[in-house]
Homo-oligomer: A and B are copies of this chain.
Amino acid sequence: MKSLPSRAIIREVGLRDGLQSIQTILPTARKCAWIRRAYEAGQREMEVGSFVPVRLMPQLADTAEVVAYAKTLPDLVVSVLVPNLKGAERALEVEADAMLVPLSASHAHSVANLRRTPDEVIAEIGRMRAARDAAGAKTRIEVGISTAFGCTIQGDVSRQEVMRCLQAVLDAGADQVGLADTVGYAGPGAVRALFEQARRVAGDRLACAHFHDTRGLALANVFAALETGIERFDASLGGIGGCPHAPGASGNASTEDLVFMLEEMGIATGVDIEGLLALRAELERWLPNEVLHGSLARAGLPKTFTGRSPNDFTAGVQ
């Protein structure tokens, strides 16, 4: 039986991936309250905004202020999404801990979404790295390969192309890479195969998995990725965001469901799940016109749940 890690990191992406996908614009003070309460519940990595043109994404226009607040919290790793060099320069200015750069392995998706081909984005990543080095900054550059498991526009995305993109962004200067199932096509079979192959290309620089629950497989996919050595996962409180592409379908993996599964498996997340569920209830009040997803909040914690896992399931026969 494959061994599993003893701990895992959940990066909260609800403040970016979540809020950019919904209609409601959450005021800056509420974003800061979300960050503070998630921090108090134990979350230590958050993607808090995006440096994209404000006219394209007014929901995230306050990203610089939100980063400034988040950086006041000790040991919180504060990430922002940046689509291009201009965004990267802003991330450097605000001294974000990490800049997350999406690179779509689907040519059609890349052109539709970023108006650039994958190779143009790869070249831009080289310029971001040069800017970071010129500034003497510590901001980590992490590239997420989106549509790594298929694309709603072009359909198949070849594994060869995903591996080519991975190698190219590492060569261009990315510090870390991850794989994202942007459209919810992945299942555990593809996850196992693609992450194993990516590990051979990127080694320890393969550092994150981003799954959507569109077809109900996000948590099974996390399980499969854990077994390939992945210990860091993106998730969104209440599963908001994630371009579900279908009415009623959910998008991002729900942070609270993911914490519940990992803790049950004896994998420490550092997160107090009851605090997180209380924050989710608050978020539901803040977003009265949005549908929140996730099963745990509806069903409640099991009567037998004792908080953080004692890791006893790995102990064998009782």
A residues with CB within 8 A of B: 1-2, 150-152, 155-156, 159-160, 183-185, 187-190, 192-193, 196-197, 200, 213-217, 219-220, 222-224, 227-228, 244-250, 254, 257, 260-261, 264-266, 294-296, 298-300, 302-304, 309, 313-314, 316-318
A187: contacting residue among B155, B217, B249, B261, CB under 8 A:
B261
A296: contacting residue among B192, B215, B223, CB under 8 A:
B215
| A216, B295: Cβ atoms closer than 8 Å | yes
Given contacts A188-B223, A216-B219, A318-B159, contact A299 B245 (CB under 8 A): yes
| A261, B304: Cβ atoms closer than 8 Å | no
Complex contacts, A260 vs chain B, CB 8 Å: 187, 215, 217
Complex contacts, A303 vs chain B, CB 8 Å: 150-152, 155, 185
Q: When chains A and B are docked, how far (Å) is the Cα of A224 from the Cα of B296? A: 19
Q: When chains A and B are docked, how far (Å) is the Cα of A248 from the Cα of B183? A: 25
Nearest to A257 among chain B residues (CB) is B216
| B299, A214: Cβ atoms closer than 8 Å | yes
Complex contacts, A300 vs chain B, CB 8 Å: 246
Q: When chains A and B are docked, how far (Å) is the Cα of A173 from the Cα of B127? A: 72
Q: When chains A and B are docked, how far (Å) is the Cα of A317 from the Cα of B213? A: 26
A298: contacting residue among B200, B249, B264, B304, CB under 8 A:
B249
Complex contacts, A196 vs chain B, CB 8 Å: 1
Nearest to A184 among chain B residues (CB) is B299
What's the minimum C-beta distance from A152 to chain B, rounded to whole angstroms?
A: 6
Nearest to A183 among chain B residues (CB) is B302
Complex contacts, A299 vs chain B, CB 8 Å: 184, 214-215, 244-246, 249
Q: When chains A and B are docked, how far (Å) is the Cα of A160 from the Cα of B318? A: 8
Complex contacts, A156 vs chain B, CB 8 Å: 304
Secondary structure dominating the interface of A: loop
Complex contacts, A294 vs chain B, CB 8 Å: 216
Complex contacts, A150 vs chain B, CB 8 Å: 302-304
Given contacts A302-B150, A304-B156, contact A261 B220 (CB under 8 A): yes
What's the minimum C-beta distance from A317 to chain B, rounded to whole angstroms?
A: 6
A265: contacting residue among B183, B189, B248, B302, CB under 8 A:
B189
A249: contacting residue among B257, B295, B317, CB under 8 A:
B295
Q: When chains A and B are docked, how far (Å) is the Cα of A264 from the Cα of B247? A: 23
Complex contacts, A250 vs chain B, CB 8 Å: 295
Can you give 21 A-B contacts (C-beta < 8 A)?
A150-B302, A150-B304, A156-B304, A185-B302, A187-B260, A188-B261, A188-B264, A189-B266, A197-B317, A197-B318, A214-B299, A215-B260, A215-B295, A216-B219, A216-B294, A217-B261, A219-B219, A220-B222, A223-B224, A247-B298, A249-B295
Complex contacts, A223 vs chain B, CB 8 Å: 188, 220, 223-224
Complex contacts, A183 vs chain B, CB 8 Å: 302
A214: contacting residue among B216, B220, B222, B295, CB under 8 A:
B295
Complex contacts, A244 vs chain B, CB 8 Å: 299
